[in-house]
Structures are given as C-alpha cells and as structure tokens.
Amino acid sequence: MPAKMPPDSAIDMSLWQGRTDPEPGSDRWHQRVQPLTQGAQPGCALLGFACDAGVARNQGRVGAAGGPAALRRALAPLAWHRHGSVYDSGDVHCEGDAMEAAQQALADRLAPLLDAGHLPIVLGGGHEVAYASWCGLAQHLTERETSPQIGIINLDAHFDLRDPQHVRSSGTPFAQIADDCVRRGWPFRYACLGVSRAANTQALFQRAEQLNVLVREDREFRAYRIDAIQRDLERFIAYCDHVYLTIDLDVLPAAEAPGVSAPAARGVSLALLEPLIEVIRDSGKLRLADLAELNPEFDLDNRTARAAARLVHLLTLND
Ligand SMILES: N=CN[C@@H](CCC(=O)O)C(=O)O
Ligand SMILES: [Mn+2]
Ligand SMILES: [Mn+2]
C-alpha cells in the first residue's frame, strides 16, 4: 500500500546541505536523501518528532524539540555508502504540552510508512517518542497478525518504566507499552541495555524484574564481554518476529553525548554499542528504529548530533 502523505506534511529539504566533491562516487547524504512521495520504492524513511513535552513533564532539560533538525544537519555531510533509498518524510510537531496528540500523530504517520514496506527511523524528540513509535508499529501489525511477537530493544541509561498513573512523560514509555500489551493480549518483550544502577531507583529495577526485562548494566559493557552480550541479544531476537530498536542518546558517555537531558557520567561508548547495533540491523527483523533525547541546546561542537548521525549511518548500511 503506498504511504499516504498527510496534507500538512510539507517536507522542508533546506537542511540537506553540505560540501560537494567533483569526483564521481563522492556523494553525501544531502545529495541523495529525497522527499518521500506516494508510491516510492521501499527504503529508509526519516520522520522527525519535534517534541519537548515528555522531558518537560519528567523534570528534565528541555530542547529535544530541536533534535530532528540538528540530526538532519549532522547527517547531511556524511558520505553516502548505501544502495537503497533514504527519504525524508517531514516532522510531527508537538504543540505545547499536547504530548498525547503528538504521539498519536506520529503513530498515524508511521503506520502507513510501515504498510508501504519502509524502514522508518524516527528522529526525536524526548523518549516519549517510544510510545508513539510503538503505537505506530502496533497499528501496522494489528491489521496483519493476532499476537505479534515484538521485541523492544532499548539502548538507554534508564528503564523509562516509571508508573504512568502519576504522569505520562519521557520516563514512562515502556510502562505504557507494557500496559498496552496487557490490553491487547500481546507479550511484552523488552531488553534494556546500558542501564545505570545509579540513575534508576530500586522500584524501577523491581518493575523491570516483574516484567522479565533483559537487563545489561552499563558496567557490564567491557570489550571482552561484548561477545557474551551479543549472544544474549541474539537469543532475545530469536524469540521475536519483529524488532523495534530505540536508542536514547543518554546511553552514551557525557563526553560523547553532552547534548541530552540527563548526561551519563559513565555510559556505554559508541564503539561498544556498534556490534550490538549490527546484530539488530542484520537480524532481518528490524521494523522500526528511533533516536531519542538529542538536545542541541546542550550539545558541544555538535558531538551528540554527530554520534546520533553515525548511529543512523550504521543502521542504514545493510543494503
Ligand atoms: N527519559 C528519561 N528518563 C530518565 C531521566 C532521568 C533524569 O532526568 O535524571 C528517567 O525518567 O529516569
Ligand atoms: Mn535515558
Ligand atoms: Mn530513555
């Protein structure tokens, strides 16, 4: 089914700028990314979620609404090594505190992208994007399967399993997804990798245990243990038919990602995350990915945006 373009989705391609080199085979992203059109061949579809509301509700440092533009700017000059297409499908904007409306709008934009066979990569926005991404994937799969086996892999210093009864925010998306799975009668399969014990309360660790979350703490990420974590991840993926990858940039050390709401004193370096991302990318089950919490207002030398762009680049290198 072709991806329907909503009437308000004017796609601003002006951010896709950068140097051009005269030699053949020197293309960069800004020369290859195309605005998404109806009926386009399946490819990778970027979709921005310009939203600060979840971080504001979670008492964080706002500015993630500027994330999608900062990430496009960082992607624009990267060297193009991909065979398939990359499309820009515009942004969803959150008006003030209207987080739920923005999440619904994102889900409504994602479902037709998935229906059309694209791999959507959502550019956040705070981590409330995860609930919106999930809703879009659920909307897509519910038409096709009675009980889809979806694995959620979150690279994050935080569980984001806070109780949504108090307030829904960037700290609650996976608890909201767990509740949604109960309502739908679907299994909740959640892996949270890079968790900081210092940044998550006992209550959150208990909730993760109750929900049978696959947890790997930041301190477990050492070069000699990556193979073991990789095997754990492969086992997790083997039990799923569909994988949703969500990357909270605060999983990276503050030196690599200062431009987030809650920078990590320790974190897990990009170099250690790369082999895991390759496993996910090459699994054949990746349906949807998002990157959350990029906050250009607190970035230094665009470090966080560059790290995020590098992650998108890696994710899109498989065809
Ligand atoms: N998405 C963010 N989650 C973290 C933020 C922690 C903080 O602000 O210190 C959380 O809610 O736990
Ligand atoms: Mn986090
Ligand atoms: Mn998070």
Average pLDDT value over all residues in the chain: 96
Give a yes or no: residue 4 inside a domain.
no
**What is the ipTM score, two decimals?**
0.96
Residue 128 CA: nearest ligand 1 atom is 1
Closest to 273 measured CA to CA, from 295, 300, 246, 293: 246
CA pair distance 189, 243, nearest whole angstrom: 10
CA pair distance 297, 260, nearest whole angstrom: 9
Residue among 58, 154, 162, 200 whose CB has most ligand 1 atoms within 8 A, to mutate:
58
Q: With bands split at pLDDT 50, 70 and 90, how would you rate the model's confidence at 318?
A: confident
CA pair distance 211, 317, nearest whole angstrom: 33
Q: CA 58 → CA 42, 61, 265, 266, distances in Å?
A: 36, 9, 20, 22
Give a yes or no: residue 309 inside a domain.
yes
CA pair distance 24, 276, nearest whole angstrom: 33
CA-closest residue to ligand 1 atom 9: 262
Could you tell me the two tokens for 19? 């140097």
Residue among 261, 266, 291 whose CB has most ligand 1 atoms within 8 A, to mutate:
261
Give a yes or no: residue 21 inside a domain.
no
Residue among 55, 158, 159, 246 whose CB has most ligand 1 atoms within 8 A, to mutate:
158
Give a yes or no: residue 43 inside a domain.
yes
| Alpha carbon of 256 to ligand 3 centroid (Å) | 16
Closest to 296 measured CA to CA, from 56, 70, 59: 70
CA pair distance 189, 233, nearest whole angstrom: 12
Q: Does 127 sit in the ligand 1 pocket, CB within 6 Å?
A: yes
pLDDT at residue 10 in the model? 75
Q: Does 64 sit in the ligand 1 pocket, CB within 6 Å?
A: no
Give a yes or no: residue 132 inside a domain.
yes
Residue 261 CA: nearest ligand 1 atom is 8
CA pair distance 31, 317, nearest whole angstrom: 17
Give a yes or no: residue 10 inside a domain.
no
| Alpha carbon of 172 to ligand 1 centroid (Å) | 9
* Helices and strands: H and E segment counts in the chain: 10, 9
CA-closest residue to ligand 1 atom 2: 171
CA-closest residue to ligand 1 atom 7: 262
Q: Does 168 sit in the ligand 1 pocket, CB within 6 Å?
A: no
Q: Which ligand does the CA of 249 lie closest to?
A: 2
Query: Does 248 count as an annotated binding residue?
Result: yes
Closest to 288 measured CA to CA, from 133, 75, 160, 173: 133
pLDDT at residue 9 in the model? 53
CA-closest residue to ligand 1 atom 11: 171
Q: With bands split at pLDDT 50, 70 and 90, how would you rate the model's confidence at 8?
A: very low
pLDDT in tens, 94-114: 999 999 999 999 999 999 999
Could you tell me the two tokens for 243? 């994988």
Q: With bands split at pLDDT 50, 70 and 90, how would you rate the model's confidence at 319?
A: low
Closest to 300 measured CA to CA, from 270, 265, 271, 260: 260
DSSP string, 152-203: EEEE-SS-----TTT--STT-HHHHHHHHHHHHT---EEEEEEE-GGGS-HH
Give a yes or no: residue 5 inside a domain.
no
Place of tokens 């990267």: 78
Give a yes or no: residue 116 inside a domain.
yes
Residue 59 CA: nearest ligand 1 atom is 8
Q: Is residue 158's pLDDT more than 90?
A: yes
pLDDT in tens, 230-272: 999 999 999 999 999 999 999 999 999 999 999 999 999 999 9
Residue with the bigger pLDDT between 38 and 7: it is 38
Cβ-based neighbours of 170, under 8 Å, separated by 6 or more: 54, 55, 57, 58, 60, 126, 127, 128, 160, 261, 292, 293
What is the number of structural domains in the chain?
A: 1
Mean pLDDT of 70-76: 98
CATH number at residue 299: 3.40.800.10
Sheet containing 214-217: give its strands across: 34-35, 86-93, 44-50, 119-124, 286-292, 242-248, 150-155, 189-195, 214-217
Closest to 190 measured CA to CA, from 207, 169, 211, 176: 211
| Alpha carbon of 262 to ligand 1 centroid (Å) | 6
Q: Which residue range(s) make up the domain with 166? A: 29-315
For residues 2 and 45, is the Cβ–Cβ distance under 8 A? Answer: no
